[in-house]
A and B are shown apart, each in its own frame.
Chain A
């Protein structure tokens, strides 16, 4: 069998699926987003976005919720990654398992668990009421806080993975050297560990931001009808209003905003000095 024939035979089946379920459909969707109700070419679906403050507000809310999620996963995930980098053999395995395994279990089910915990008659409220700390149940669900909690739980594993990968690469003898030179643990953290984990921070924050921007299930389940984000609006346009061109345009606008923001952010962080240090 010739090399060319082998390559074709081996890659063709997967390529057919990619073409038929991914490339052609995406192209069609892009074309559709430029159509008005008479199927003529139009920028209407996109210009609506700039003109109507309603959509801009929703985009801003999507960005805001995503930024909070990035912050929460970073603050909570960083110590976990640090712990994993310090831990040895068995302990590291246990921590890895306990942080990654839930990530492989349905997001709908995890969100359900949080609804039980955070609801008005949920565990937290019942406990706080019983202890007399609050008199009225707190509103922890069906608002932006609820969405951020849900998203943080969904994506923290990605953050920890990105951070841990870059922390495993830090030579442990650097910490020892800092200690020998008389640096305190805090000083070592800010002068050695934190700067050297920067690639992990960049990778983790961009990943969690992109994932949060396009998350649908968690905002739908934990945000309720009052906290609609871009994916939820796009879904409604397609499945309820049946305005497919608008739904398609909204999805692409969301994707474009995500790409623009992520690009700006990485440009800002990856300065000349950064590239000199982490060039590989």
Chain B
């Protein structure tokens, strides 16, 4: 029992606290009552069937899903290409391009949202799906670039050379050697982009129109007016969906590694 000290106790408490929202939301969504209560009263699926009667949530769910999927594919494609250039070639300005690619991470989302709205209004794509998509690609690119660059930093280029020496076409080398070796980094970039886009509120807030609202924003708006178990049932669906992607991330890449916590000291 030597390990159960104050550190362990506080850790347990903190883990409980950060997961408390989910421990409360999921049971609350099954309440038979007409209001939010914890512990929930009775058991019923009514708040789940009720989602089906709310077109704003259904529509925004599909918008979010479509948005996140297209963002994931395009951001991963653009980010991976850029990371290849940054890793493979040493050129003048590569440091600046690298810094620029990562910079959307350091600028507050609020400023990204407002400035995008401003510019999109001028060029006429404010409130369109395209505008929203471009902004989501922008905020996802840094994650992809960082992940793929990390993957490339330990990449063994002699394997590519071996491919060439055996007479393979450059595309064949890329497809059969480079890509499979980098797959974990690229796939994680894609999953991470999906989650980033699917959960984003602050940037989207400025860029959606009533018919392009995303699910988190629909929940945000609904929550500001009413708090009922409907939010709980919708949230539970999102939690479940996000968990699927988190487990995928853990399996493909490992959360510890994803967040740069991969120490060899133990």
Contact = CB atoms under 8 A, between A and B. Distances in A.
Which secondary structure characterizes the binding site on chain A? helix
B91 interface: yes
B231 interface: yes
Given A80-B14, A168-B265, A102 B22 contact: yes
A150 to B, nearest CB: 10
A17 B37 CA distance: 46
B117 interface: yes
B11 A117 contact: no
B153 interface: no
A9 to B, nearest CB: 8
Contact of B256 (A93, A119, A216, A221): A93
A108 B201 contact: yes
B110 interface: yes
A20 B122 CA distance: 12
Given A18-B138, A83-B7, A105 B78 contact: no
Contacts of B120: 25
Which secondary structure characterizes the binding site on chain B? helix
A110 B223 contact: no
A15 interface: yes
Contacts of B28: 116
A4 to B, nearest CB: 8
B82 interface: yes
Interface size class of B (residues with CB under 8 A): 35 or more
B260 A95 contact: no
Interface string A1-22: 0011011011101110110111
B91 A7 contact: yes
Contact of B135 (A21, A24, A115, A153): A21
Contact of A26 (B85, B111, B260): B111
A99 B134 contact: no
B97 A11 contact: yes
Contacts, number: 266
Interface string B108-135: 1111101111111010000000000011
A79 B79 CA distance: 36
Interface size class of A (residues with CB under 8 A): 35 or more
A81 to B, nearest CB: 9
A101 B81 contact: no
B1 interface: no
B110 to A, nearest CB: 5
A88 to B, nearest CB: 6
14 contacts: A14-B141, A15-B97, A18-B104, A79-B11, A95-B15, A96-B256, A98-B15, A105-B22, A106-B198, A113-B235, A119-B36, A119-B227, A165-B261, A254-B110
* In the complex, the 9 A-B pairs of residues with the closest C-beta atoms, listed nearest first: A113-B21, A214-B108, A25-B115, A10-B85, A168-B263, A25-B119, A79-B10, A29-B115, A83-B11
B82 A14 contact: yes
B118 A109 contact: no
Q: Pick the most buried of B110, B119, B137, B195: most chain A CB atoms within 10 A of its CB.
A: B110
A95 to B, nearest CB: 6
A115 B25 contact: no
Interface stretch (B42-50, B155-163, B172-180, B238-246): B238-246
B253 interface: no
A255 B202 CA distance: 16
A76 interface: yes
B261 A107 contact: no
Contact of A14 (B19, B78, B115, B119): B78
B199 A116 contact: no
A13 B91 contact: no
A115 B227 contact: yes
A169 B265 CA distance: 8
A100 B255 contact: yes
B54 interface: no
Contacts of A156: 14, 18
Interface in A12-45: 13-15, 17-18, 20-26, 28-29, 32
Q: Pick the most buried of A80, A106, A255: most chain B CB atoms within 10 A of its CB.
A: A106
Given A13-B82, A79-B7, 10 more contacts: A3-B89, A6-B89, A14-B82, A21-B112, A26-B111, A80-B11, A83-B10, A108-B216, A169-B265, A216-B201
B6 A79 contact: yes
A216 B238 contact: no
Nearest to B112: A22
B115 A26 contact: yes
Contact of A109 (B15, B81, B219, B265): B219
Given A107-B199, A153-B21, A24 B256 contact: no
A55 interface: no
A216 B25 contact: no
